[in-house]
Each structure stands twice: as structure tokens, then as C-alpha cells.
Amino acid sequence: MSSELERKEKKFLVKFMIHVAMFLAVLGLSVVMNETNDLSIISTGFLAMSPVVPIIFLLRLVIGHYRSLDEYIQSVMGESLLWAVGVVGCAAMSYGLLAEMVEVPSFSPAFMLPAIAVIFGIAQSIQLKGDGHEE
């Protein structure tokens, strides 16, 4: 990997980590404020939604980085994302259908984005490892 590419990747990772840290800080602050203050329903709603703002900026960062990558890596990432969304979507639909007929514990949809991220990483790793054996 060229030094320019390495520098670009490091810069992206630093920005990525800053966005994740901002998300965690806003999430923690919103939880503490909600638990220590008697807020109106509207204020509580805004407080509950506030951690989404850093995630929107994180999404913009990731999309910009994706657009800067070559076609091969874009293809791998695109297929990995399809696998991740498909697996999580099928699991969520299956769980929902099961919940209609059987008593199951409730599950927060907030865990869907982290699940997509984990499965995306696994799918991408499998794809890249498989492509390495073909060459």
C-alpha cells in the first residue's frame, strides 16, 4: 500500500473514531440528563433522538470514503452490505413472525445497526479472503 493511501486510511480511521466517540458521548449525556431531570415528553423525545445526529455525520463520512475507493473494493463492500442487511432483515422478520405466534423476549431495534456492522465486517473478510486464494 502506498504511503499516500496509508495516510488517507489513517485519516479516515481517526475521523471515524472521533464520530463514534461523539456518538457515545452524546448517548451517555442524554441518558444521564434523562435520568437526573424531570423533562417534558417533547424534551425527552429530542434527548432520545440526539445520539442519531453524530451517526448521520458518521454516515456522511463513510459514504465519502466509499466513493474515494476503487471499483473492486466498492464491489466487495456493496456485496458485503447486501449480505449484512439481508441477514439482519431476515432475522428480524423471522423473529417478528415468531413473536406473533409464540411468547418471546422483546428485542430492541437499536441493536440492528451494530448487527449489520458486525455481519458486514465478517462478509467483507470472507470475500477478501476468498478472492486472495483465487489469485
pLDDT tens track for 44-90: 999 999 999 999 999 999 999 999 999 999 999 999 999 999 999 99
Between CA 44 and CA 46 the distance in angstroms is 5
pLDDT in tens, 97-109: 999 999 999 988 8
Between CA 87 and CA 93 the distance in angstroms is 10
Residues ≥6 apart with Cβ < 8 Å to 16:
58, 61, 62
Domain limits, the chain: 1-68, 70-135
